[in-house]
Amino acid sequence: MIFFEILFIVFVICIFLFFIKFFLSFWGVFLILTQNQYILNMKKILVTGGTGFIGSHTTVELIQKGYEVVIVDNLSNSNINVIDNIEKITNKRPIFGKVDVADKNQLFNFLDNHKDIESIIHFAASKAVGESVEKPLKYYSNNINGVINILEAMKHFGIKNMVFSSSCTVYGQPEQLPVTENSPIQPATSPYGNTKQINEEIIRDFVAANPDFHCIALRYFNPIGSHPSSLIGELPIGVPANLIPYITQTAAGIRECLSVFGNDYDTPDGTPIRDYIDIIDLANAHIAAINRMEDNKQKKNLEFFNIGTGNGLTVLQLINTFEEATGVKLNYKIVGRRAGDIEKIWADASFANSELGWKAVVPLKQTLLNAWNWQKRCANIE
């Protein structure tokens, strides 16, 4: 009799342990699913140029908002380590393909393995104004073929939405400030600027002929800053063509002196005015644009938005704010004007504020401090 009692107790314990194990397995699966927030309905996005400055920050924001990101980049102006650092920030590694988007075969072969992509953010392009004057064919070949191949890929693989990286350079020196999206497009002052204008026209013609496809062109003003983690940032190869990396490299002692090009412009202190937009704010504008297309909220199947703060700042004001934010004194000198620079431009961002539901929120001092912290990390400065 006692034998059957013991057998019964062992049986009950076994059943109990079985249920505990079953519950724990179920709980484990539940945790994995919830840690990956939207894993059950994650949308796949192709980010071209995703290891570059704006692409890497946008990838981080996309992953953190539950998207699955596939990056293609030919690493012509970026480093593969960026993928590791995106993973460190997000705990998720984006899929990466070393692909030249200007090469249609490479792009199509890669996309053959990713047929579930729903939207594209197209950053990949050559972007240095000065270099484009010296090597115009490099810019026309890379930037124009890139867009044509991306549009052909959209059609071939049935990818309906695209966000395109445009630029405020399309406005040239505007007669009226701030510039709205309806301000006239001016003749381009560089081959780079011309490629952005031609790209916008190609996309306009493409969506007119293919009304099932949607595009939002974001006209960026001057993107600056870096991720607050200091794990990703702007990484210019060689002498920086943009102001902020030049400022931070001068502050770090890598460059001897910062040249301010011209102080005889018609501005409060004579130096040129620009609208500096934080990189995280800019990244989030792309997500607002993707959401707008996914939610069918577009009023036309090609829309343009100015992505800026709405505030213009002179170069000297920017330098002073950098010194205040970081406590570092900058060695700079005023030199003559630089060919091709315009006098002043800043955005009217009210259309993006009201229609996209997007607004720049990061304070300028925070942006400059983030840029400095990134530079310090790159240069091993304590």
Which of residues 201 and 324 has its CB atom nearest to ligand NAD in the complex? 201
Kindly tell me which of 194 and 222 has the beta carbon lying closer to ligand NAD: 222
Nearer to ligand NAD, 48 or 314 (CB): 48
> Which H/E stretch holds residue 162?
strand 161-167
Q: Is 59 in the site for ligand NAD (CB under 6 A)?
A: no
Could you list the beta-strand ranges (E) of 81-168: 95-98, 117-122, 161-167
Angle between helices 279-294 and 53-64 (to 10 degrees): 60
Structure tokens at 214: 């949607």
CB 211 within 8 A of CB 264: no
Least separation in angstroms between CB 76 and ligand NAD: 4
For the record, the structure tokens of 283 come out as 């990244």
The nearer residue to ligand NAD, 130 or 270, going by C-beta atoms, is: 130
What torsion, rounded to 10 degrees, do the Cα atoms 20, 21, 23, 28 define?
A: 140
Between CA 89 and CA 96, with CA 90 as vertex, the angle to 5 degrees is 100
Interface residue with ligand NAD, options 85, 119, 132, 142 (CB under 6 A): 142
Compare residues 53 and 265 and give the one whose CB is closer to ligand NAD. Answer: 53
Using the rule CB under 6 A, is 127 a contact of ligand NAD?
yes
DSSP 269: T
Q: Which of 97, 143, 109 is nearest to 124 (CA)?
A: 143
- Binding region for ligand NAD (CB under 6 A) out of 43-51, 84-92, 243-251, 335-343: 43-51
- Residue 255 near residue 246 (C-beta atoms within 8 A): yes
State yes or no: is 220 an active-site residue: no
* Among candidate residues 295, 268, 169, 153, the one with its CA nearest the CA of residue 221: 169
Cβ of residue 223: shortest distance to ligand NAD, in angstroms? Answer: 5
Q: Does 193 bind ligand NAD (CB under 6 A)?
A: no
CB of 324 to ligand NAD, least distance (A): 23
Residue 233 sits in the site that holds ligand NAD (CB under 6 A): no
Q: List the catalytic residue out of 139, 171, 192, 220.
A: 192
Smaller CB separation from ligand NAD, 253 or 374: 374
Instruction: Give the 3-state secondary structure of residue 286.
Output: helix
198 binds ligand NAD (CB under 6 A): no
- How far is the C-alpha of 287 from the C-alpha of 305, rounded, in Å? 13
Provide, rounded to whole angstroms, the least separation between the CB of residue 101 and ligand NAD: 4
- Segment near ligand NAD (CB under 6 A), from 85-93, 94-102, 112-120, 331-339? 94-102
**CB-closest chain residue to ligand NAD:** 52
> Does residue 161 bind ligand NAD (CB under 6 A)?
no
User: Interface with ligand NAD includes 308 (CB under 6 A)?
Assistant: no
Q: Which two tokens stand for residue 78?
A: 């970026």
257, 328 contact by CB (below 8 A):
no
DSSP-derived letter for residue 57 is H
Catalytic sites, residue numbers: 192
Q: Which residues make up the interface to ligand NAD (CB under 6 A)?
A: 48-49, 51-55, 72-78, 100-102, 123-127, 142, 146, 165, 167, 220, 222-223, 242
